[in-house]
Amino acid sequence: MIHRLTLSDVLAEHARSRPRVTAVVDGEARLTYPELDERVTRLADALAARGVTAGDRVLWLGRNGHPVLELLLASSRLGAIFCPANWRQSTDELSFVVDDLTPKVVVWERSEAAAPLSDDGWILAGDGYEAFLSSGSPAARREGAGDDTLPVLALYTAAFDGRPNAALLSSAALVAHSTALLVVRQMEDGFTFLNNGPLFHVGTMMFCLATLQIGGTNVFTPAFEAEEVCRLIDAEKVTQAFLFGQMIDAVTEANRDGKYDLTSLRFVSHSAEWDAMTTVDDSPWCRSKMGGYGQTEVGGMLTFLGLAPGAAGFAGRPSPLVQVRLLSSDGSEVPSGEVGEICARGKSLFSGYFNRPELNAEKTRGGWHHTGDLGRREPDGTITFIGPRLRMIKSGNENIYPAEVERALKTHPAIADAAVIGVPDDRWHQAVKAVVVLKGEATAEDVVEHVRARLASYKKPRHVDFVEAIPKKGFTPDYDALDDAHGGGGYPGS
């Protein structure tokens, strides 16, 4: 008990240690740490009144906002598991999440995809959420249920066997990961993070939680909008935001007239215009440099480029709180310079996937988490990420697993067989191409529309090739032959 530190405990400490610090900014809402603590107390009481107890799931279907952080912290106080789901998903995908997670409470924003699923008991974001929160008592303070190794956050990812899986992260893992980020990014007192990326993705969530850990300020915006991002950076003196590539260009363009002061932003050098608007961080670690290797299952980042200035391996070195081994398929360590599966052990690792005992046993065989990705140790000890052991397409920064798209394609009555590859794409880095064998009548448009109706839009094929047969290796498609024949390429790590 004296070693416990849950996310709710972190908040409880800040409410005492930082009584005047702004914890959260979201539109009109501005909350100090004591105010956030009181709202979380009320929310936990309201959730408890709905019957939420240790191990129960609480689901959020909506865009970014401070309720995401509040529901996570209230779940922590009850020992429950909070899941912010991808609100960009199709009705079928959301339906899968609801069926898989069987949440006791759902808070949702009205959307086309979620509407067909909504239930009498579901709580509407906005006024409905505020009324629900207010129904809880601020006096019904709970010290927190259970220990900090219990799962508190579920993030859907890893659709490598055709269905997404909810990776479970404990308070202990999230606190450890946050602390590693504090070290590597040298986040300090007064840190302000703009949550403009999706909170259902570990990439944004990990910075939100590290900002909480150091007692900084989390600024929320529903989604990326360049001028609003400029306004918030200026108004809240934002230290860091989830910006890269085209988003940085869009922000630069939106502030071409210099209307907003963006100098609070400490960022990696990008373009002459951008560098002139912001404060370029040229420290060796570079607070905003996004180098490294990670996945949801390791809490976010496993290795950091910032821990290996001048490294040979572009993924850098492991976080100070983990061990990495490159293992062959027989479980032995491969020598330096050879490719093996990136395996990990340490404080920030997940607690397995929700309700997948067999998969979990397989992923943690030999006491090491098997990431499913391949890597190599360079002579200087740093790590190079080679690519997924199973096939993955990266389009617009989203992971797309061929197996998932193939499964959707095969539900079409006119499709006999299908395989999915990635082809290079100027805008999205890669685009999805479906290679399809027909047993009835269907056009390329029919095929695309069939997937679009079932999966998130970014997963739909942008190209369809019709063939007589899919080349196979055993029971699985021969992807190398498909790439050669259909222009595949641009895969992550290649």
Give phi and psi for 146, each to the nearest 5. 70, -170
Stretch of residues binding a second copy (CB under 8 A), selected from 45-53, 93-101, 200-208, 210-218: 210-218
Q: Name which of 163 and 325 has its Cβ closer to a second copy.
A: 325
**Which residues between 178 and 207 bind a second copy (CB under 8 A)?**
178-180, 182-183, 186, 188-189
| Residues 131-160 as x/- pattern, contact with a second copy by CB under 8 A | ------------------x-----------
Stretch of residues binding a second copy (CB under 8 A), selected from 177-185, 219-227, 258-266, 465-473: 177-185
**328 near a second copy (CB under 8 A):** no
Q: Name which of 365 and 439 has its Cβ closer to a second copy.
A: 365
Q: Are 94 and 114 in contact (CB under 8 A)?
A: yes
**Which residues between 349 and 388 bind a second copy (CB under 8 A)?**
349, 364, 367-369, 377, 379-383
Q: Are 486 and 424 in contact (CB under 8 A)?
A: no
Q: Which two tokens stand for residue 430?
A: 């890669």
From the CB of 286, what's the least distance to a second copy, in Å?
A: 12
From the CB of 358, what's the least distance to a second copy, in Å?
A: 16
**73 near a second copy (CB under 8 A):** no
Q: How far apart are CA 36 and CA 82, in angstroms?
A: 17
In this structure, the number of other CB atoms found within 10 A of the CB of residue 365 comes to: 13
Cα 247 to chain centroid distance, Å, stands at 18
From the CB of 276, what's the least distance to a second copy, in Å?
A: 25
Place of tokens 């060796």: 284
Q: How many residues bind a second copy (CB under 8 A)?
A: 58
Binds a second copy by CB under 8 A, chosen from 247, 290, 321, 334: 321
Binds a second copy by CB under 8 A, chosen from 68, 202, 214, 455: 214
Q: How far apart are CA 18 and CA 20, in angstroms?
A: 6
For residue 323, the cross-strand partners are 345
Q: Name which of 22 and 89 has its Cβ closer to a second copy.
A: 22
**2 near a second copy (CB under 8 A):** yes
Q: How far apart are CA 182 and CA 184, in angstroms?
A: 6
Radius of gyration of the chain (CA): 23
**327 near a second copy (CB under 8 A):** no
Q: Are 125 and 85 in contact (CB under 8 A)?
A: no
In this structure, the number of other CB atoms found within 10 A of the CB of residue 368 comes to: 19
Q: H or E element: which one contains 91? A: helix 91-101
Question: Strand (E) positions, 248-355?
Answer: 266-267, 279-280, 292-295, 300-304, 317-318, 322-327, 339-346
Q: How far apart are CA 186 and CA 207, in angstroms?
A: 12
From the CB of 4, what's the least distance to a second copy, in Å?
A: 6
Q: Are 193 and 238 in contact (CB under 8 A)?
A: yes
Q: Is the dihedral of CA 271, 276, 282, 286 positive or negative?
A: negative
**318 near a second copy (CB under 8 A):** yes
Q: Which amino acid is at 394?
A: K
In this structure, the number of other CB atoms found within 10 A of the CB of residue 74 comes to: 31
Polymer length in residues for the chain:
494
From the CB of 210, what's the least distance to a second copy, in Å?
A: 9
Stretch of residues binding a second copy (CB under 8 A), selected from 89-97, 112-120, 201-209, 338-346: 338-346
**302 near a second copy (CB under 8 A):** no
**31 near a second copy (CB under 8 A):** no
From the CB of 299, what's the least distance to a second copy, in Å?
A: 11
Place of tokens 């063939």: 467
**88 near a second copy (CB under 8 A):** no
**Which residues between 241 and 260 bind a second copy (CB under 8 A)?**
none
**175 near a second copy (CB under 8 A):** yes
From the CB of 314, what's the least distance to a second copy, in Å?
A: 15
Binds a second copy by CB under 8 A, chosen from 244, 285, 314, 458: 285
From the CB of 462, what's the least distance to a second copy, in Å?
A: 35
Q: Is the dihedral of CA 28, 29, 30, 35 positive or negative?
A: positive
Give phi and psi for 306, each to the nearest 5. -65, -20
- 431 contact partners, CB below 8 Å, separation of at least 6: 395, 422, 423, 424, 425, 462, 463
Binds a second copy by CB under 8 A, chosen from 309, 337, 424, 489: 309
Binds a second copy by CB under 8 A, chosen from 78, 324, 342, 420: 324
Q: Which two tokens stand for residue 425?
A: 């794409």
From the CB of 18, what's the least distance to a second copy, in Å?
A: 5
Q: How far apart are CA 81 and CA 420, in angstroms?
A: 34
Stretch of residues binding a second copy (CB under 8 A), selected from 5-13, 59-67, 452-460, 472-480: 5-13
Stretch of residues binding a second copy (CB under 8 A), selected from 96-104, 160-168, 171-179, 417-425: 171-179
From the CB of 396, what's the least distance to a second copy, in Å?
A: 30
Interface residues with a second copy (CB under 8 A)? 1-5, 9-10, 12-13, 16-20, 149, 172-173, 175, 178-180, 182-183, 186, 188-189, 213-215, 284-285, 307-309, 317-318, 320-325, 336, 344-347, 349, 364, 367-369, 377, 379-383
